[in-house]
Structures are given as C-alpha cells and as structure tokens.
Amino acid sequence: MMEIVKVTDLTKRYGNVEAVRGISFSIQQGEIFGFLGPNGAGKTSTINMLTGLARPTSGRIIIDGMDAIKDIKKVQSIIGIVPDDNNLYDEMDGFENMCFCAALYGMRKSERERRARELLKQFNLVSAGKRPFKTYSKGMKRKLTIAAGIIHNPKILFLDEPTTGIDVESARQIRQLILDLKKQGTTIFITTHYIEEAERICDRIAFIVNGKIVKTGTVEQLMQHAQDEHIIELKLSRDIKNLKTKIEDNFKNCRVEVPGENSCLLISKEPIKLSPVLQFLDAKGVSVYEAKAIKPTLEDVFVKVTGIQAAELKKDEVKKQK
Ligand SMILES: Nc1ncnc2c1ncn2[C@@H]1O[C@H](COP(=O)(O)OP(=O)(O)OP(=O)(O)O)[C@@H](O)[C@H]1O
C-alpha cells in the first residue's frame, strides 16, 4: 500500500478561531477516505488547504510525493476538486462549462470536447448538456460539478459534501459514480456529515470534531469500539418485569432491561449462553418467540467516541455566507 497523501500537524486559524487544530492522517492510493463530522468541525478548511484553496497556518501536506504547500500548481494538475458550492457558470451550457474547465487544465480542443461528451454521457446529462447551467436542478448541478472536477482524469479527487442538500436519487447516483471512480483507480477524499454515506462508501473514516481527528479506521475497526457489550433481545409471551432480579441472580454476568411489554434485553460483557436462560423462562411459564443479537451501529460508535449526539450530524445545514 502506498501513501498518496500525507498530512502532518496541520492547523488553520482564522483570527481567533482555530478551525483545524493539528491534524495528521494519510490516505492510501486507491482508497476512499472520508472525513465525518458535524457542521463547523473543520472539514471544508482541511479540504481547502489540501487543494490549495486556503493556506495552512502551519503543518505539512505531501501529495503524490510533492509538497502541496510549496508546489501547489504542480499538485493541482493531478487532483480534482469538487467544492461544496457549485463553481460553474450559470449562463454557459453543460458542455461549454466542461470544455471551459478542461481548457483551464491545458487540454487540447479535440480532447476537451471528446472528454466532455464522454462524461456527459456517463453522468446521464447528455440532453442537459445543451441547456444553461442555471436551469439545472440541484442534483444535476452537483453531478456536472463532479464531472468538471474529473475532466482531466485526476489521480486524486477531493469532494466536499457531494450529496448535501440534493434529492435522494441524485445522491444515490453520485455515490455510485464515486464507487465507479474508485474502481478505475482514482483515490478519493470525501467529507460528509451523513453517517450512512460514510459507512457505505468509505474504506476508512476519520471522525473530525472541533478541528481535531478523534478516531480513524475502517468501519470494522471503528465498530470494535462499541462491541464491549453483548446484547440479546428476547420477544416473550408475557411481561417479565417481576422476573428481572430473579434472572440476574441466576445468571450472574447478565444485566436485564425491560424496555417494553413482552420483551427484554440481556446485556453482558461476555457472550451470552442462551439455552439456560430459555430453560429458566420456560420453567416460569414464559415462552420465547424470538431472540436476536443487537449489533451496535456506526452511529453508536460515533456518539461514544466523540460525545456528540448523532442529531448534531443530522441537523440540516444552514449554509454559511462565504
Ligand atoms: N473564512 C473564515 N473566516 C473565519 N472563520 C471561518 C472561516 N471559514 C471557516 N471558519 C470557521 O472555522 C470553523 C470550521 O469551519 P469549516 O467550514 O472548515 O467546517 P466544516 O466542517 O466544513 O463545516 P460545514 O459542514 O459547515 O462546512 C468554523 O467555526 C467556521 O465558522
């Protein structure tokens, strides 16, 4: 595995605001690496520093062996940037916008047009390509912005909240396009505040809160942080509130919770042996209709590790005036 991005002790200060507070991480070639965090965590500031849109206060950024602070122009020729607001021209049509971006990368006219047509087709925007950008829906705008970001076949693509505020179907298409790009070998850095999105498409996720990375890992590695308890939910033929202490006395390592009628949770630090519990309940005249293991979700892990309620992430974005 090769590190294609390496960030060390990166900070960004705006006056008194410390937006990014000494973060270090690396991205492996070919992976989808995600920053998951609430509004104001420092995601955009970080992506802007990595792509040369903002100057770091301190720290180091190496991209594909180059110093991304000193040699940003060289770096920019091998990266694609999709900022969180659309950066295309309202009056130009889709095709013209694509060709214009390609020209900025110094592509020849015939190559620009070939690539623009190819991407419009791949992104299902062929007929929209003939209409001015301002007539597009939000989802179409996002798609064209992404298409423009990869016009020069970048090695690494930086996407800032690519699915925020757009319709479900466009968001699904965009996630699929990101996975297709990965298949073609593109390395991808994505920021998001959607847990499910990070979980579904990222190879590794960094939780970022208050300008700091609090945890990094694959979904599987992150999950291990919540798996210090085993939980089994039982569906029962009757209420067993009165049996709670009896069960706990009989099964010393188990805690019992009765969240609702006709069900209970068995909670233990160790794997729970179910058959003695079932026999015990049977002897008390309680039938067990269903037993299922309750697995923690990535959301549980996020809440546990960051101390931030998942609702903070789900809050709909109030767009900053930039
Ligand atoms: N140009 C700026 N001047 C002053 N403060 C800024 C500026 N840009 C960002 N900040 C502040 O820095 C912090 C981090 O912002 P940043 O945009 O990086 O977070 P984010 O995780 O991308 O959040 P969002 O999802 O809302 O964009 C916030 O407190 C924000 O208000």
pLDDT digits (tens, 9 = 90+) for 165-188: 899 999 999 999 999 999 999 999
For ligand 1, atom 10, name the residue with the nearest CA: 19
Alpha carbon of residue 117 to chain centroid: 30
| CA-nearest residue, atom 28 of ligand 1 | 40
Q: Poorest-confidence range of 98-107, 111-120, 177-186, 306-315?
A: 306-315
Spacing, Cα 320 to ligand 1 middle (Å): 8
Q: Which residues pair with 217 in a beta bridge?
A: 205
Distance 252 CA to ligand 1 centre (A): 50
What integer best gives the mean pLDDT of the chain? 92
CATH 2.60.120 fits 229-293, yes or no: no
- Please state the rounded mean pLDDT for residues 208-213: 95
Which protein residue's CA is at the shortest distance from atom 2 of ligand 1? 14
Going by C-beta distance under 8 Å and a sequence separation of 6 or more, which residues neighbour residue 114? none
CATH superfamily of 3-224: P-loop containing nucleotide triphosphate hydrolases (3.40.50.300)
> Which protein residue's CA is at the shortest distance from atom 30 of ligand 1?
40
Query: Over the stretch 214-251, which tens digit does the pLDDT of each residue have?
Result: 999 999 899 887 777 899 999 999 999 999 999 999 99
How far is ligand 1, taken at its centre, from the CA of residue 85, in Å? 14
**Which residues is 8 bridged to in the sheet?**
60
Closest Cα to residue 313, out of 35, 47, 10?
A: 35
Mean pLDDT throughout 155-163? 96
Rounded mean pLDDT, 296-311:
84
Taking 50 as the threshold, does the pLDDT of residue 320 lie above it?
Answer: no
- What is the atom index within ligand 1 of the atom nearest the CA of 164? 25
Contact indicator for 166, 281 with CB cutoff of 8 Å: no
> What are the residues whose beta carbons fall under 8 Å from the beta carbon of 69, sequence distance 6 or more?
55, 56, 60, 61
Q: Which atom from ligand 1 is nearest to the alpha carbon of 15?
A: 4
pLDDT at 106 over 60: yes
The type of residue at 125 is: L
ipTM exceeding 0.90, yes/no: yes
Distance 36 CA to ligand 1 centre (A): 14
140 close to 93: Cβ distance less than 8 angstroms: no
> Ligand 1 centroid to 26 CA: how many Å?
22
The pLDDT assigned to 316 comes to 53
Atom of ligand 1 minimally distant from the CA of 37: 21
Cβ–ligand 1 contact at 17 (below 6 Å): yes
pLDDT band at 318 (very low <50, low <70, confident <90, very high): very low
What are the boundaries of each domain within the chain? 3-224, 229-293
Asked whether 14 lines ligand 1 (CB < 6 A), one says yes
Q: How far is the CA of 305 from the centre of ligand 1 (A)?
A: 22
Quickly list DSSP for 24-74.
Answer: EEEEETT-EEEEE--TTSSHHHHHHHHTTSS--SEEEEEETTEETTTSHHH
Task: Please indicate whether residue 48, judged by its CB atom, sits closer than 6 Å to ligand 1.
Answer: no
Atom of ligand 1 nearest to the CA of 161: 25
